């Protein structure tokens, strides 16, 4: 994996090698400093390690709007199966100075009809809350988020209406998801188109 410049952001995708880029930087005199030559914090060092060790699924891509700020980045998930197949969902990650002792703050920037993501973008994923442990990584979160699109969990909902529909009428839930992906109303809520 490595970064590639895509107009306004650095992109990390699964087909490239970041370890080669890291070796190139080290041989060019790179060291363990953050932006502006300051000594990197524990959070910066750990997130750098997490990013170097990422094993992204083919349905995911990471974007770094500011190449010097690894603590704030975006994840794009494009499911290739399940209810959300064909959609494109953007999540923002904000990694605090308490990382890895505190989980990153993750929000879904794409409004989505989903039992575990509310209309404000809050995400219900246990490893982002009570089940977080410092041994978990960004990779763990990415796989957890991807799994939410493969297997929405109506037992632990943030969007109670979507969860109830999923439990009582899977066909209607699927229709509501498709309507939201194409762009349109589900009940009184309008969803922007988010198909790839």
How far is CA 154 from each of CA 48, 62, 90, 98, 158, rounded to the nearest angstrom? 34, 28, 22, 31, 9
Which sign does the torsion angle of CA 27, 138, 120, 129 carry?
negative
For 46, the enclosing helix (H) or strand (E) is helix 42-52
Residue 43 CB: number of other CB atoms within 10 A? 19
| Catalytic pick among 60, 108, 124, 194 | 124
Q: Of the candidates 49, 43, 56, 47, which has an alpha carbon nearest to the alpha carbon of residue 19?
A: 49
DSSP conformation class of 40: P
**Is 124 in the active site?**
yes
Which sign does the torsion angle of CA 108, 138, 94, 64 carry?
negative
Active site residues: 124
């Amino acid at each position: 994996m490595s970064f590639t410049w895509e107009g306004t952001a650095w992109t990390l995708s699964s087909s490239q090698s970041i370890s080669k880029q890291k070796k190139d930087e080290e041989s060019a005199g790179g060291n363990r400093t953050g932006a502006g030559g300051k000594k990197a914090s524990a959070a910066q060092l750990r997130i750098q390690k997490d990013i170097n060790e990422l094993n992204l699924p083919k349905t995911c891509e990471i974007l770094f709007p500011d190449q010097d700020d690894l603590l704030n980045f975006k994840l794009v998930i494009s499911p290739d199966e399940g209810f959300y197949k064909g959609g494109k969902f953007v999540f923002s990650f904000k990694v605090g100075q308490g990382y890895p002792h505190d989980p990153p703050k993750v929000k879904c920037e794409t409004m989505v009809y989903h039992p575990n993501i509310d209309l404000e973008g809050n995400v219900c994923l246990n490893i982002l809350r009570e089940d977080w442990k410092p041994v978990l990584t960004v990779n763990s979160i990415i796989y957890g988020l991807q799994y939410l699109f493969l297997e929405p969990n109506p037992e632990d909902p943030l969007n109670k209406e979507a969860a109830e529909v999923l439990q009582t009428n899977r066909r209607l839930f699927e229709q509501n998801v498709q309507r939201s992906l194409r762009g349109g109303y589900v009940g009184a809520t309008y969803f922007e188109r988010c198909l790839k």
